[in-house]
Amino acid sequence: MTEGEGATDLLAGRTWQELLARRSFIELDALGRAAALLDSDSLRVLAGPFDRLESPWLALQGITPQADDGTVIARGTVNGSPVVIAAIEQGFQGGGTGEVSGAKISQALLLAAADSQAGTPTSGVILFETGGVRLQEANLGLNAVAEICSAVLDLRPHAPVIGMVAGTVGSFGGMSIAAGLCTRLIVTPQARIGLDGPAVIEQEGGVDEFDSHDHTLIWAVDGGEQRYATGLADDLVPDDTDRLRAALIDAIKAGVTQPGRHRSERLDVIASRLATLDPAAQPCDPRDLRTLWGRSYEPVAKAPPVSATSLTSAQPPTTRGRTWLRALSGTATVEAVIPSVLSATTAEARYLAVVPDPGNRFYRAREGEVGVTEALALAEAVRDLVRADMATNTELKRAIIAVVDLPSQAYGRYEEMAGLHQAMAASTDAYHTARVAGHPVIAVVVGTALSGGFLTHGLQANQILALNDPGVEIHAMHKAAAARITLRTVDELDEIAKTVVPMSYNVTDWARLGFCDALLKVENADEPTSHDIEAVDTAIAGAVQRARGGPVDLSNRFDSDAAVKTRQASRAVRELLARQWNTAV
């Protein structure tokens, strides 16, 4: 069914007078959408355009900033219930998430969580119209998405977090991971949801992998109706402001979801669904998923739930991730959760790494990318350790060490069909759960750490360490793709990065942003010496101790000396929202 047909069906049975009176939600801007959902006269804009909290990085690149950085934060009530809405303006930078806009969303959700815990349940609503990370702010935007995901999970046990994807941009990139974490997700037929956009998949995998001009294919994979029909969205509502508000009222009334029942916690469902797919041997049409899976988000009846451990593989290559996991875990046995996710468990910690798997049936994830099976396996391994320590009532929870060397997420049609964003939400949820439960989560970046792969495996850590080595590269997207999307050359990107720190691929520049808790010099990153291993082990031990004595959220990323210097805009957002939160109009 096409976008237009879906909308027509949803409006069937209405009189012509009702159809003429219908108010389009999609045609409104971000502020208009927020106002349309809130009770009359209850809207109060926080950190608005007159506060002039705009990106400090865009003007340096010849781009005119927007005074509210393209995100409206509005407090008010919906049917009398307290709500905060984060509405992303699709007309500014494609709804891309930057430092300021990301900080506004995460801080608003954290303030709602604090109110909810204090006895005033305050629902969070995110209006997703976003292409993902704003590449002009690359690493700051990438971290902002990680902080938003963490804030969604901080609020979710206390008050519902409702996502809404209406159109025209849809929800893509890392922000779709946040959509996959929401208590409830409301979509229109005009909505699209995915991790990787069709044009990005085409440029990475070729037109045979995804023809970005094939609109029928796009809607069959990413469209709101398809996501609803396969259980990846909860409500399908026409582009009608009144009906979307009614759906939001129902979602708020439904309240919080029982622990263990969120989509991002249902590893059994993901495992059983993936068991029905074998892209390398048996291609299928995206519309077949409606029959294979059904709308109910429960294990697939036609295929018994299986663990991701059922895969087999060809001989994998040696990589930094594999080398360092073996080196750091000492004499512990290295096991394959699946061939592309390795685990080694000691008395003190579990080490995890994503590695290449030449035999991966999801062929777009054969070179160490994080795909659907990798995200599931990481989530399984993390939650398994949390359960084990909980069962033994261990007071000192074991650490989880994410050894990071991955080229990105998997760019593939089948990954999008299977709901890559939702699988990544499951891994993100698992790492957050471990961190909040008292497990020190330490990321050790030994190679590349790019885009959604790093969001899924590393950026939810209490502490992040990185090797100070030319082979370490951290960024929102690999350089050639970032150049194409920003309409620049690779040389131009390198030149801009000299003055715009978050655009840099240099690990020392990344450390200047305040995300790095230790930058480690080693003699040989590819073949570590005993001295190298000892030095990194010592750094990990220090990070574990700091994590045990520090906050279980990600607030420490604002407090380092580097963050105080470089993330001034993020800090200003947090301070302003805290001051304005309970101030009368």
Tokens 């902080």 locate to 147
Q: With a cut of 70, list the residues of the chain below it in pLDDT.
A: 1-9, 11-20, 302-314, 584-585
Tokens of 424: 């990544």
What separation in angstroms does the CA of 385 have from each of 352, 401, 435?
11, 12, 12
Kindly report, residue by residue over 562-580, the tens digit of the pLDDT. 888 899 999 999 999 999 9
pLDDT of residue 5: 52
Residue 22 is predicted with a pLDDT of: 82
Q: Is 496 helix (H, G, I), strand (E, B) or coil?
A: helix
Domains by residue range for the chain, with CATH: 21-193+233-257 (3.90.226.10), 320-553 (3.90.226.10)
Identify each DSSP E strand in 269-393 by its residue range: 334-338, 341-345, 349-354
Q: Is 510 helix (H, G, I), strand (E, B) or coil?
A: helix
- Of 470, 420, 426, give the one whose Cα is nearest residue 448: 470
Cβ–Cβ contacts within 10 Å for residue 47, how many? 26
Q: In the prediction, which pLDDT does 457 show?
A: 98
State the pLDDT at residue 16: 61
Q: What is the pLDDT of residue 307?
A: 43
What average pLDDT does the structure give for the chain? Answer: 93
Q: What phi-psi label fits residue 119: left (phi over 0), alpha (psi between -120 and 50 degrees) or beta? A: left
Radius of gyration of the chain (CA): 23
The per-residue pLDDT for 306 is 42
Residue-level pLDDT at 562: 86
Q: Are 68 and 81 in contact (CB under 8 A)?
A: no
CB-based contact 354:341 (threshold 8 Å)? yes
Residues 37/78, Cβ–Cβ less than 8 Å: yes
Name the phi and psi angles at 155, rounded to 5: -85, -35
Distance CA(277)–CA(357), nearest Å, equals: 17
Alpha-carbon distance 135 to 337, whole Å?
Answer: 33
What's the sign of the alpha-carbon dihedral 229, 233, 236, 240?
Answer: negative
Size (the chain), residues? 585
- Which conformational region is residue 431 in: left (phi greater than 0), alpha (psi within -120 to 50 degrees), or beta? alpha
| DSSP code string of 185-236 | EEE-TT-BB-SS-HHHHHHHH-TTT--TT-HHHHHHHHBHHHHHHTTSSSEE
25 contact partners, CB below 8 Å, separation of at least 6: 33, 36, 166, 188, 239, 240, 241, 244
- Percent composition of the chain: helix, strand, coil (DSSP 3-state, to 5): 45, 15, 40
- Please tell me the distance from the alpha carbon of residue 412 to that of residue 369, in angstroms, as a whole number: 11
Write the CA distances from 70 to 95, 144, 415, integer angstroms.
7, 14, 30
